[in-house]
Structure 1
Amino acid sequence: MKDFQGNMLCLDRADINTDEIIPARYLTEISKSALKPHLLEDLVLDGFHPKTDLKDVRVIVSRGNFGCGSSREHAPWALEVNGINVVIAPSFARIFRQNMFNCGMMAIELPEDQVQELFELGAGKKARLCIDVENKTLIATNDSGKELKIEFPISEFDKTLVKTGGWVEFADKNY
């Protein structure tokens, strides 16, 4: 099972698409590691600088419809190779969401008010998130000592994919 804790980055925009997560010009790369330096390099967001802001980030919190656009797996791969195994948003593009779970990663859907609470917790402060997959809870803390505990939904099958490391590992184990 992957690691589901670490520093949190809030990207305050809806509809971040797969071309912004990993630009299409890199889809000819033959390894996941070749995608690493290009994560979010085309994302235009005031105050966001991918070369510096992604350092030590393990969790992304964003607005709705995260991962819209094309259906390629390269977007979750680019996150994964950068150590980002969790994205939290009010909604996800259906195929992106499933690609995350197929890779043993987590796409956590929370109501907008809870996503807003995470944004407020992280505003101008260093924030960390720790996810307990088994108990379906996350705990977010910031350097001011504020803490948020939130329960999240996850289907039993998606939880199994996460715990086994993804679809390939699940299939190897069960078929």
Structure 2
Amino acid sequence: MALADIRCDVLDVDLLTDAKAVLDSLAPVEREMRTAGGTWYLARIKPYRTLDNVIDGVVLTFNDVTERVLALAMRHARDLAEAVVDTVYEPLVVLDEHLQVLTANRAFLKLFGGQADDTLGRGFYEIANGQWDFAAMHELLDSPTPVQVPGEDRLISQAFSGIGVQHLRVRTRRVAGKSGITGLVLVSFATEPNPAV
């Protein structure tokens, strides 16, 4: 059977051309390729040597590397998201579906205290000695969908350790990715003057 007779759903890779290049140069070729179904493979093409040390074709092997490729893509996406979040001037945290802190920008840590090491990966209501564990925040975050209409601010007044009573405009937004994964929650805060004044 000839390689040209094999049908596959690989995107943007010409294995026949690669196989011919291996036969011409005798140098192996490796490349990652994606199928139409979204599976990633590492394809290796090597010259096939007979027992008489004669080149008599090529050997193709395919290893499923989907998990590694997707993990790397997620890491790059997370690094990019963290860089974007950190450039925002107002305090901002990103929570997962279980309200664990995925990232908190410098403005959030500076205003409300704490270090990234003590914040990331912990439950939002646990960070900073539990100072976020109050009814108004539970009302905003504990429902399956935000209480607010997207883009609507909620005014909250609360005493915080080291900085006293703060009057905050809080905006929450649940985010769904293209993959259909839901549950990320963006929470931003803007300080306001005392509303009673």
How does the TM-score come out when normalised to structure 1? 0.26
More relative contact order, 1 or 2 (CA 8 Å, 6+ apart): 1
**Greater CA radius of gyration, 1 or 2?**
2
Structure ranking higher in strand proportion: 2
Structure ranking higher in helix proportion: 1
